[in-house]
Structure 1
Amino acid sequence: MSRPHLFVDISAHGFGHLAQVAPVLNALTERLPALRLTIRSGLPTAKLQTRIAAAFTHLIGSSDFGYVMHDAVSLDLPATALAYRRQHADWPAQVERDARVIAGLRPDLVFSDVAYLPLAAAALVGIPSVAMCSLNWADLFAHFFAGESWAAEIHGQMLAAYHSVESFLRLTPGMGMPELRRLRSIAPVAALGNDCREALRRQVGCATGERLVLIAFGGVSKALPIADWPPLAGVRWLIPQDWQLEHPSVVSFEGLGRPFTDLLASVDAVITKPGYGTFAEAACNGTPVLYLRRSDWPEQDALLDWLNGHARCREVSEADLLDGCLHAALEALWRQPARPVPRPSGAEEAAAALLPWLAGRGA
């Protein structure tokens, strides 16, 4: 009997899509150890392996681009519009090419977060598909470009692809997505980290009473001028390695050799942008969040409403963040009472939703 085969497409628009998919795949492979995984993503194989426990075949490539970004919180809309117009200039041919790839792999099911090209391709060759995300590219496209004369055909092609799925698993928190069919809302999906705070503080040489604050913008760069910040007594910053900053108050978190979720579960706060992965994981690990709003990002309000109801959190302005004026914001954040942590049961819900096609029982 052949092994069940799942084709997974994970967007490389930041790390949040991987943070959503990985717990689902881990839950699914626990239930179905014989599952064969083929994963297409523009993320590095090593990055995928930090989150996905099971063995998989990696097809390196991106079937979506999401949005062209100036940095983690600001969009390049003219470049994004051009990219969408180029992608859809010969849409039927693109779908046919992708359909040949998917048909050649012969998966039992296509699972996408949240590219629509593999969904259209799967429909063309009669392979069932399921999408999952807290957003979809069609709603975001309509938000920014619906008024453009060239946009209606592209939006229609996007919607048709999303409408072809057996189910769209809408994560909590997430956008409303009123235009999508076969929508099913599920609980939050988040990886839970191991609390290693004492070992972590010894590793970075924290003084007694010194706090650790993680700065992470979800895989899209936004370097901050920490070297120019005024000293903030009693705080050590964990920053991305690619900032290439040597400073007595900072430590590169990649160089610590610990899983990101373990770090997130062990620090005193995280500074980030509104994004599903970090917001959900911070809330479910009980970590306070200091966030910088994104400029005109439609998913943002749903994420912020949920975070404010489930975690200690506080907004910081870009001016204060760039100037390093963070003492008052952090102290106010730490004075907030702890909240009951949400239970991230969405991974089990999603795994159960995928299982029928892979266990051979039909939809």
Structure 2
Amino acid sequence: MGRPAHLFVDISAHGFGHLAQVAPVLAALTARLPELRLTIRSGLPTDRLQSRIGADFTHLQASSDFGYVMHDAVSLDLAATAQAYRRQHADWDERVDGDARLLHGLQPDLVFSDVAYLPLAGAARAGIPAIALCSLNWAELFAYFFAREDWAATIQRQILDAYNGAESFLRVTPGMAMADLPRLRAIGPIAALGKDCRQALHAQIGCRSDERLVLIAFGGFDKQLPIDAWPAIPGVRWLVPQAWQVKHPAATAFEPLGRPVADLLRAADAVLGKPGYGTFAEAACNDTPLLYLRREDWPEQDFLIDWLQVHGRCREVSAADLLSGRLRPVLESVWSQAAPPTPQPSGADEAAAALLPWLTRVGESRPGG
């Protein structure tokens, strides 16, 4: 018997969408390789990772990317982001060397990143194959915001070199164009499918069977809404984050319910959030209507919105209506939409199939080598 294959996984803590993409892939992969050893590096809390990832793993509590510095869930701090990029790349070679030493010590058979580029550069330097996966990449977003800055060219080249040093970049549907990544491979949507717990959830909350539940989920960033001041909407119950300490009589904190987010989303009659991959893909694949507040100057959102308008039911909500709680008209509008065919989340199995050859030949020559 040979040793079990070892996969090093790097999951961005920039929101929860990266975890939402990776977790179904790991589930599909460990179903095929039950003995697979997982080492996960992420700035997300261990319990958050465990809530999505069913397999055992070793957690390295650290972030190898920062994505973008945010004022809140929908607005960027570009000045702070520029400073963070310049600081990260001021000693880029030393950072890459540090990751190469870490990976050399851990000896994984494959590095899998969503969507930090530092571990890809470190893996290349350590001679370890790597695969990236995401609906976006930091190189394309960096170019969108900073390409015209006189300090940006070297950083942009270093980011692209790191991504292009990977064996492939699995672009999840819906995703950005990524024209600068020649090793791009498009795969289907990735989404967790929730269990049908609607009746049990209504009983647990203590609401009537004809009441409609609206889940408020802004994907890992603070976006406190003045729900206490919202007018009541007859027949609507809000499921809200516990940290908001909402006192509205029609609001219930969802974390104490003890149910996975995907189950809550499937049971809900609508979800309210921002354009983000996890929320959009899971809403479509669980056939849950979605209301979204546009993000300020976030180029990925147009790809997500265009896709959801074809494959799901959705409506934009204005910031003014969101703050005032004037949501009844937009809820009635999205509930009146005809449901399109529900998309199938084939991307997790496709990604697992792409990773598998690197993990089933432990001790042999690597694929493509």
Q: Same fold (TM over 0.5)?
A: yes
Show the counterpart of 2:81: 80
Q: CA RMSD in A?
A: 0.8
Range 39-48 or range 204-213, more displaced: 204-213
Q: Deviations over 1:313-348 (max 9, x none)?
A: 111101100110000000011011112110001000
Hey, what's the Cα distance between the residues in 1 that align with 2:191 and 2:145?
29
8 Å Cα contact 2:270-2:290 kept in structure 1: yes
Give the partner amino acid of 2:117. Answer: Y
Q: SS of 1:40's equivalent? A: strand
Q: Deviations over 1:193-219 (max 9, x none)?
A: 001011101111112421100000011
8 Å Cα contact 2:202-2:209 kept in structure 1: no
Show the counterpart of 2:118: 117
TM-superposed CA distance for 1:245, in Å, is 1.7
Q: How does 1:51-200 map to 2 (within 5 A)?
A: 51-200=52-201
Range 238-247 or range 278-287, more displaced: 238-247
Moved over 6 A (4+): none
Matched, 1:315 2:316: yes
Hey, what's the Cα distance between the residues in 1 that align with 2:66 and 2:196?
34
Give the TM-score normalised by the residue count of structure 1: 0.99
Show the counterpart of 2:284: 283
Hey, what's the Cα distance between the residues in 1 that align with 2:53 and 2:269?
26
Q: SS of 1:58's equivalent? A: strand
8 Å Cα contact 2:15-2:221 kept in structure 1: yes
Give the partner amino acid of 2:38. Answer: L
Hey, what's the Cα distance between the residues in 2 that align with 1:142 and 1:293?
21
Range 245-254 or range 297-306, more displaced: 245-254
TM-superposed CA distance for 1:243, in Å, is 0.9
Give the partner amino acid of 2:197. Answer: C
Hey, what's the Cα distance between the residues in 1 that align with 2:100 and 2:299?
31
Q: Deviations over 1:136-161 (max 9, x none)?
A: 00000000000101000000100000
TM-superposed CA distance for 1:35, in Å, is 0.6
8 Å Cα contact 2:103-2:122 kept in structure 1: yes
Hey, what's the Cα distance between the residues in 1 that align with 2:275 and 2:68?
15
Structure 1 spans left out of the alignment, 5+ residues: none
Q: SS of 1:119's equivalent? A: helix
Give the partner amino acid of 2:251. Answer: V
Hey, what's the Cα distance between the residues in 2 that align with 1:214 and 1:56?
30
Show the counterpart of 2:37: 36
Matched, 1:297 2:298: yes
Structure 2 spans left out of the alignment, 5+ residues: none
Give the TM-score normalised by the residue count of structure 2: 0.97
Q: How does 1:328-339 map to 2 (within 5 A)?
A: 328-339=329-340
Q: How does 1:213-292 map to 2 (within 5 A)?
A: 213-292=214-293
Show the counterpart of 1:12: 13
8 Å Cα contact 2:199-2:209 kept in structure 1: no
TM-superposed CA distance for 1:247, in Å, is 2.4
Hey, what's the Cα distance between the residues in 1 that align with 2:341 and 2:220?
28
TM-superposed CA distance for 1:230, in Å, is 1.4
Q: SS of 2:90's equivalent? A: coil
Q: Deviations over 1:225-282 (max 9, x none)?
A: 0011112111110011111222211111111000000000001000011100010001
Show the counterpart of 1:27: 28
Q: Deviations over 1:55-83 (max 9, x none)?
A: 00000000000000011110000000001
TM-superposed CA distance for 1:224, in Å, is 0.4
Q: SS of 1:88's equivalent? A: helix
Hey, what's the Cα distance between the residues in 2 that align with 1:45 and 1:212?
29
Hey, what's the Cα distance between the residues in 1 that align with 2:244 and 2:15?
16
Q: SS of 1:33's equivalent? A: coil
Give the partner amino acid of 1:180. Answer: L
Q: Deviations over 1:79-107 (max 9, x none)?
A: 00001010011100010011111110000
Hey, what's the Cα distance between the residues in 2 that align with 1:51 and 1:191?
9
Hey, what's the Cα distance between the residues in 2 that align with 1:94 and 1:286?
43
Hey, what's the Cα distance between the residues in 2 that align with 1:105 and 1:200?
43
